[in-house]
Amino acid sequence: LVCNDQGVPEAEPLFRALMVDFWKALRDLNQLLSDNKEVCSDMSKISPLITACAELSNFVSDFMNSDRDKQGQQHWDFVSWVEISEKNYVLQLAPVDVSALLGEALRTLHQQGVTTVFTSATITVDRQFTKFCHDIGLKQDELMLQIVDSPFDYQNQACLMVSSDFPKPEDPLRINKCIAQIRDAIEASPGGVFFLTTSHSSMRQAYEELTRCFGRKRQVLMQGTDSIPNLMATFKSDGNAILVGTSSFWEGVDVPGKALSLVVIDKLPFKQLNDPVLVARAKRCEMQGDNFFTEELLPDAIIKLRQGVGRLIRNEQDTGALIILDPRVLTKRYGQKVLNSLPPMRRVNHVADVVSFFRNLRS
């Protein structure tokens, strides 16, 4: 096995040759068992072996030809890869895109008189349904689409800080530098703090620095040190804790009230091209002449970001501040689309403005 430029395992020609030999061995074993089943005294033992050999042989054949058409040319309808652990090897086979199948199923349900309702707080990107319609395999004119605005008064309940002065994402010391820059905002926070990261390494780095800076005055918690329910219970009961987490805390956790008054997001949550299905989607997108970043990566990142942002304001009484530590929100052309997709919070550019916001809340 070798890894490509994206770090995804790919089969060398030698591996493909070994798989062919494996398939031939399975075929020969299946034939041998079938030829001798009449002389076997216990058919209940040999029949399952014959079935298992046939099924495994078919899977290996499908696996080896999943990315080839009838002429042997590579296509991107399916992608296959190998996952290696200490104990075994797992052959994986997955479709690259299921939107057409999903769209066909939804049309069939509609023809049968079944109404399907999709609802989500993060279903749009820049107030457009383009990504959602693509993912479910339907055209916009096949759907009744509606955006229901939030009842929350974001202008008075929350503020959003973005700044081009934050370190660039590739800076190895960016987490420590960012925490130093927003230290006054964390200290001014009247309640708890969520510090959401996009990787486990950043999470650990943030936890260490936050513990160093605030550990004597506030309880600092980190995902993985206890179960999520226990961490959430501790965070809520403390009322002034700092919780550092990654993917599990971007969605599905609910902390209304003063127990959470500041959400810090370290970076725009772009997916990394280290997943074989994602790499195959990128290749397919390129072959079709589309831009994978604007069509897939950016919309997915915006949806994920909105989920993280949604941790802050949970009801009409909630108040708090959001700080996004990624300068690309202001320095990249796509940044405006990101901002347009977020709730209409009062926007500020300096830590002092966040401190003033918290001070006004107290008064």
Lowest mean pLDDT among 4-8, 213-217, 242-246: 4-8
Statement to judge: residues 301 and 225 lie in one domain:
yes
Q: How confident is the model at residue 66 (pLDDT cuts 50, 70, 90)?
A: low
Indicate if 230 and 318 belong to the same structural domain: yes
Q: Are residues 57 and 133 both part of a single domain?
A: no
One DSSP character per residue, 192-212 reads -EEEE-SSHHHHHHHHHHHHH
**Does residue 253 form part of some domain?**
yes
- Residue 147 counted as domain residue: no
- How sure is the predictor about 25, in pLDDT bands with cuts at 50, 70 and 90? confident
Residue 262 forms part of a structural domain: yes
**Do 313 and 171 belong to one domain?**
yes
320 and 260 in one domain?
yes
* Cα–Cα distance measured from residue 314 to residue 317, given in angstroms and rounded to the nearest whole number: 8
Helix (H) / strand (E) element for 324: namely strand 320-324
The model's pLDDT over 73-118, given as tens digits with 9 standing for 90+, comes to 555 677 777 777 777 777 777 888 899 999 999 999 999 999 999 9
Domain residue limits at 344: 154-362
- Are 172 and 310 part of one and the same domain? yes
Report the distance separating Cα 282 and Cα 56, nearest Å: 30
| Chain segment 174-230, per-residue pLDDT in tens | 999 999 999 999 999 999 999 999 999 999 999 999 999 999 999 999 999 999 999
Q: In the chain, how many domains are there?
A: 3
pTM of the model: 0.79
Do 128 and 179 belong to one domain? Answer: no
Number of H helices, E strands in the chain: 15, 11
Establish if 149 belongs to a structural domain.
no
Structural domain includes residue 148: no
- What distance in Å separates the CA atoms of residue 338 and residue 270, rounded to the nearest whole number? 12
Q: What is the CATH number of the domain that holds 231?
A: 3.40.50.300
For residues 350 and 206, membership in a common domain is answered with: yes
Looking at the chain, the whole-number percentage of residues with pLDDT higher than 70 is 89
pLDDT tops 50 at residue 2:
no
Evaluate whether residue 173 is within a structural domain.
yes
What residue has token string 């160093």? 212
Distances (CA, A) of 355 to 16, 193, 320: 61, 14, 11
